[in-house]
Amino acid sequence: MNFYIVLVLVSLHFRGAELLSAVTINKVTLQIDPSSPVQSGRNVTLTCALDISTAEPSQSHPHQYTFYKEDQIVYTKNDTSDRLQYRITAARVFHSASYSCVVRAEGKRKESNQAALWVTGKWCLQQPVLTLNRNTIREGEEVAVRCAAPEELGSLIFNFYKNLSKGPVRKLTRAVNFAETTFNFEPEERTASFYCTFSVTTVPDAGASPPSAVRNVTISEILKNPIMDVKPAQNVTEGDTFEIICRADDSTSTANQQIIYLRKKKDILTHKTGRVNYTSTAHSQDSGDYECISDLHNVQRSTIKTLRVAELFSKPVLLAEHHEINEGGRLNVTCYSRYSTPQNLSTAPGLKYALLKDGTLKTAASVQSGYVNEKASAAEGGLYSCNVTAKGITKSSEQVLIKVYVLVTSPTLSIIGSSEVIAGKSARLKCHSEKGSPPISYVLLRGNQTVSILAVKQEVAVFNVTMSNTGSTQEYRCEAQNRGASSAKLSNAVRITVIVPVSSPTLTMIPDKEVVFEGEDLILICAVADATLPITFQFFKDEEEHPLHSTTTNSTTAFFTEFGGTEHNAGYSCKASNKAGTSRKSNRVSVTVTMAIWKRILIGLFCIMIILGVFVFCIVRYKLKQGKCAVRISFSEHTDAVRNVFELSSTNTGSADQHGDVIAVREINGTEVGSVDVGCGEDSSDPDIEYTEVMHVEPDTSRAPVMKGTDTVYSELRKSESEDPDNTDCQGSVEYAQLYHNTVESRQ
């Protein structure tokens, strides 16, 4: 009698504890990787996996994991995950053992299977003796197993094997010659067998002993699978109410002690002692397997049934006439859904539609499934969806994006900075539309040519344009569009003046020679190949700081004229600059100014005159020293004079050769006749002229010679020293004879 009272109290205690617990540990497993046998030195990972059910799956509950090597704790940790690993680095013989893990959660405790790590070989030792405390047990109870080696001494390692396993499921080290341990059993196990071996700790190379005799244990069942019922049926339609009943089998004596859990996947829907009822309105997502679990003393039985929920109506689809429309255009959306199961139209529940924009109700639920706005504003754009409701079931469509574009307005083009830009530099142009839905495409035009295209997400576009080396004024416009060519708008025009910097100037000179004459015009020409006008030219002499001449002109060439003078002997260069702000220097031209030609001639003549004067002076002086004399010869008439000359020449030929006397007849009747050298000096080596030259003039025999004007005859006689040897000076005289024409005629 007392025994039954205690049993009832214990049952009530367990019942109260189970009522308070909303967690059930379904199973704990331990896995070793790699599996035994393991070579010494390899890394080994022990993984403790937990299968747990909870009433509040969204909340994380910490679990306590404890790893055992035989009966020694090797690692413990609190963790919320459903698995935990324990790593052994470089496994050695020492690590050979049977491992297990224990999980504790919400007052519940569950031990895993035994996993053996086998790293050694074995030798035959004494056969141990295995005994069980009981040969028959009930589900949930433990069995005590004892392994003894009475003839062995020292520290021993005992290995326990279950169901003829290849490796030990548990390994105990004792300082005595026996070891005891307990074993739990899986719910489906009805029988089990055990045997054991041992080895000497101090002599690991001795290996393991022969196995003991096998002992068997029988496990009697205390639980049956719970009874589960689904009403009205396992096949229902959305909107229907269904009920699931789960209870313990009344044929067992522990029916009122069993904790009943109703679970879908890993979610515990409800739990209670003895019986649970779960009622709900069917939704399509309620389809699936439901599991009814009966639990007593960590022993569990379960029954699974499947609930199939058919759709009452399909998931709605929102259709838009156009997903992109212009402001003021037509917005038309329609929500579509249909019944998934055959329905009697007279009894079918009406479908009600509601339109939502950006998650906010736009139209109230009604039988109308569409929405139309003939002139949509920009505010109408957004994410649209619809809800369909029938029999308390509401389904939502996928969201549809509808864009309402505001067309761009005519843009404004402006210059950022100056409207004058140096060639090769960049100008910044800003194109701006007051309104327009992004993205807006801006096109920059130079004349009719496209310069650049920018697609921006705002109303402003800034273009950086590199100015070409054209040196002209360029006109720019920009075009904005955001809905194709039909929405294009053109801006105002702006003009940019391109300033071309001056190129390197070239300095040339007229005349094109390095030497010019004094007084000659000197023209310097400074020219550039290309530049924007006006250009400032400066002419410099050598490296003087201040220019000789400066001028600003609308031409690419400048002139500078000077009258050449000796002060202009120098090198010249020029500089050119314009609005670009840079100046370029030309090549250097050297100029040498020499004396004028007329001055050279005058100086030459002067020098010649001086030389002639000196020469004449010397001759005169010489002749004065030689005693010159003159012979006057008069001619009465032209023929006689000629004859006398020739006679005198023939008579004195020999003396003339010796004394160098000269008789010169300059002119007879306007004709130069010649001269006769008759000699007048000391010897023939006189440096004076010694020659005899006669020009014969044949008289006209047909008529008498006509005398025109006055004919003058010059004669000069040099008297030789032989005639007057004592006279050192010779005087010369010239007689002028004028023969008149009438005298000649009278003689004829």
Q: What is the per-residue pLDDT across 399-444, written as a single tens digit (0 to 9) for each?
A: 999 998 888 889 999 999 888 888 878 889 999 998 888 888 999 9
Determine contact, residues 36/168, Cβ cutoff 8 Å: no
Distance of CA 63 to the CA centre of its chain: 53
Q: Start-end ranges of CATH 2.60.40.10 in the chain? A: 22-219, 227-310, 317-405, 412-498, 506-594
Burial group, residue 253, by CB count within 10 angstroms (0-12, 13-18, 19+): exposed
> Residue range 334-361: average pLDDT?
75
Q: What integer pLDDT is reported at residue 724 of this predicted model?
A: 45
Report d(CA 477, CA 498) in Å as an integer: 16
- Tell me the pLDDT band of 113, cut-offs 50, 70 and 90: very high
Report d(CA 54, CA 506) in Å as an integer: 98
Helix (H, G, I), strand (E, B) or coil at 642: helix
The pLDDT tens digits of the residues spanning 638-691 come to 445 444 444 444 444 444 344 444 444 444 444 444 444 444 444 444 444 444
The pLDDT tens digits of the residues spanning 60-72 come to 778 899 999 888 8
Reported as type and span, the H/E element at residue 597 is helix 597-626
> Residue range 586-608: average pLDDT?
79
* pLDDT over 70 at 94, yes or no: no
Q: What integer pLDDT is reported at residue 663 of this predicted model?
A: 42
Q: What integer pLDDT is reported at residue 328 of this predicted model?
A: 86
Report d(CA 600, CA 475) in Å as an integer: 65
Report d(CA 459, CA 410) in Å as an integer: 11
* pLDDT over 50 at 335, yes or no: yes
* pLDDT over 80 at 346, yes or no: no
Distance of CA 554 to the CA centre of its chain: 45
Q: Which of 185, 307, 326 is nearest to 234 (CA)?
A: 307
- Tell me the pLDDT band of 182, cut-offs 50, 70 and 90: very high
Q: What integer pLDDT is reported at residue 348 of this predicted model?
A: 57
Scan for tokens 């047909």, then name that residue.
Answer: 702
Q: Which of 119, 65, 113 is nearest to 88 (CA)?
A: 119
Domain 412-498 has CATH 3.20.10.10: no
What is the number of other CB atoms lying within 10 angstroms of the CB of residue 277?
A: 14
- Tell me the pLDDT band of 514, cut-offs 50, 70 and 90: low
Pick one of 3.30.413.10, 2.60.40.10, 1.10.8.420, 3.40.50.720 as the CATH number of 22-219.
Answer: 2.60.40.10
Residues 90-105 as b/e (b if ≥16 CB within 10 A, e otherwise) read ebeeebbbbbbbbbbb
Determine contact, residues 490/479, Cβ cutoff 8 Å: yes
Q: What is the largest CA-CA distance in the chain?
A: 220
* pLDDT over 70 at 707, yes or no: no
Determine contact, residues 679/656, Cβ cutoff 8 Å: yes
The pLDDT tens digits of the residues spanning 323-334 come to 888 888 899 999
The pLDDT tens digits of the residues spanning 266-295 come to 899 999 998 999 999 999 889 999 999 998
Q: What integer pLDDT is reported at residue 368 of this predicted model?
A: 73
Which CATH number is associated with domain 506-594?
2.60.40.10
* pLDDT over 50 at 710, yes or no: no
Percentage of residues in the chain having pLDDT higher than 70: 74
Q: What integer pLDDT is reported at residue 656 of this predicted model?
A: 39
The pLDDT tens digits of the residues spanning 498-510 come to 888 888 898 888 8
Instruction: Classify the C-alpha dihedral 546-548-553-559 as positive or negative.
Output: negative
- Tell me the pLDDT band of 306, cut-offs 50, 70 and 90: very high
> Residue range 110-134: average pLDDT?
78
Distance of CA 636 to the CA centre of its chain: 123
Superfamily assignment of 317-405 in CATH?
Immunoglobulins (2.60.40.10)
Instruction: Classify the C-alpha dihedral 73-78-82-88 as positive or negative.
Output: negative
Report d(CA 428, CA 725) in Å as an integer: 117
Q: What integer pLDDT is reported at residue 559 of this predicted model?
A: 84
Q: What integer pLDDT is reported at residue 709 of this predicted model?
A: 41
Q: What is the dihedral of CA 680, 683, 687, 690, to 10 degrees?
A: 60
Q: What integer pLDDT is reported at residue 632 of this predicted model?
A: 43
Edge-first strand order for the sheet with 241-247 is: 227-231, 241-247, 275-281
Instruction: Classify the C-alpha dihedral 427-433-434-435 as positive or negative.
Output: negative
Percentage of residues in the chain having pLDDT higher than 90: 25
Q: Which residues contact 568 (CB under 8 A, 6 or more apart)?
A: 522, 562, 591, 593
HSE, side-chain direction, 13 A CA sphere, residue 425: 17
pTM of the model: 0.41
DSSP state of 126: P
Q: What integer pLDDT is reported at residue 517 of this predicted model?
A: 65
> Residue range 104-108: average pLDDT?
86
Q: What integer pLDDT is reported at residue 674 of this predicted model?
A: 43
Reported as type and span, the H/E element at residue 475 is strand 473-481
The pLDDT tens digits of the residues spanning 621-630 come to 888 887 654 4
The pLDDT tens digits of the residues spanning 455-498 come to 887 778 899 888 876 667 888 999 999 888 888 889 999 988 88
Determine contact, residues 495/462, Cβ cutoff 8 Å: no
- Tell me the pLDDT band of 596, cut-offs 50, 70 and 90: low
| Whole-number average pLDDT of the chain | 77
Q: What integer pLDDT is reported at residue 185 of this predicted model?
A: 84
Any idea which of 91-105, 283-297, 577-591, 667-681 has the lowest mean pLDDT? Answer: 667-681
The pLDDT tens digits of the residues spanning 195-252 come to 999 887 865 766 788 899 999 999 888 788 899 999 999 999 888 899 999 999 888 7
Report d(CA 362, CA 343) in Å as an integer: 30
Report d(CA 216, CA 193) in Å as an integer: 4
Q: Which residues contact 305 (CB under 8 A, 6 or more apart)?
A: 228, 230, 234, 244, 289, 290, 292
Q: Which residues contact 630 (CB under 8 A, 6 or more apart)?
A: 716, 717, 718, 730, 731, 732, 733, 734
Q: What integer pLDDT is reported at residue 739 of this predicted model?
A: 38
Which CATH number is associated with domain 227-310?
2.60.40.10
